[in-house]
Amino acid sequence: MHKHDSHLDKPRYNTIFAVGIGLNFAYVVVEAFYGWKINSLALIADASHNLSDVAGLLLAWAATFVASLRPNMRHTFGWQKASIMAAFINAVLLLVAMGSLILESIQRLHSPEPMQGLVVITVAGIGIAINTFTALLFLKNQENDLNLKAAFLHMMADALMSLGVVVAGVLYLYFEWDWLDPVLSLAISAIIIVSALNLFKKTLHMMFNGVPDSIELPKVYAYLKSMEGVTKVHDLHIWAMSTS
């Protein structure tokens, strides 16, 4: 027998995901529009990246819904592993996005491009506010749920990237350092990759039914063996049912 518990307040998390997705999609539209209006490839490229993050949020939201479905005769363990799959896919998407950004930054180091002025800084500033706000929505429970941690990392990555654009833009206005933007992008990408790799490692471990990090198998074995009436413990298996 297995008890299925949910650590998520479903109505509350539905609201959080809906608000986060709505705000970020609206920002993608604004960023793409101004990128087209001032012919800024940087803004258009960032809008494309942010659109992939909206897809990541949709995936995480779908996983929380699927994980809440009740077990049935065909799926007696329920559907909670959907959250593990979503967190794993989001970790891969984040690594791919950061890898792409690193390649783009290296190319821009070799062929620096002038910043597009105050418009880029203003749009990036809006991005900081929206992405930071969205990340804070997931902050409370991201340490206890890898699916929410993946959503949190996506939003923090975008917030840091937008911050890098603003810092580089302001310094460019004063010193015309066209190399600073790609250098900051490389530094921020490296920081995000460390967290994404950790998320990738944990979710991959869970996908292959690994023992959760918080559980020590020898102690469980010893506890079971010490119980009254238990003479022998063999073939002990422990694995995570969900990201929480």
Query: What CATH number corresponds to the domain at position 26?
Result: 1.20.1510.10
So what's the pLDDT on residue 200?
94
74-93, pLDDT tens digit by residue? 888 888 889 899 989 989 98
Q: Is residue 228 part of a domain?
A: no
Q: Is residue 235 part of a domain?
A: no
Section 125-153 average pLDDT: 87
Section 194-214 average pLDDT: 90
Section 149-177 average pLDDT: 85
Q: Is residue 219 part of a domain?
A: no
Q: Is residue 14 part of a domain?
A: yes
- Mean of per-residue pLDDT scores for the chain: 84
So what's the pLDDT on residue 154?
83
So what's the pLDDT on residue 129?
95
Share of the chain above pLDDT 90, in %: 16
So what's the pLDDT on residue 39?
67
pTM: 0.79
Q: Is residue 86 part of a domain?
A: yes
* Residues 153 and 126: beta-carbon distance below 8 Å: no
* Number of domains within the chain: 1
What is the domain extent for residue 198? Answer: 10-209
Tokens of 209: 């039914």
Q: Is residue 154 part of a domain?
A: yes
pLDDT at 17 > cutoff 60? yes
Q: Is residue 230 part of a domain?
A: no
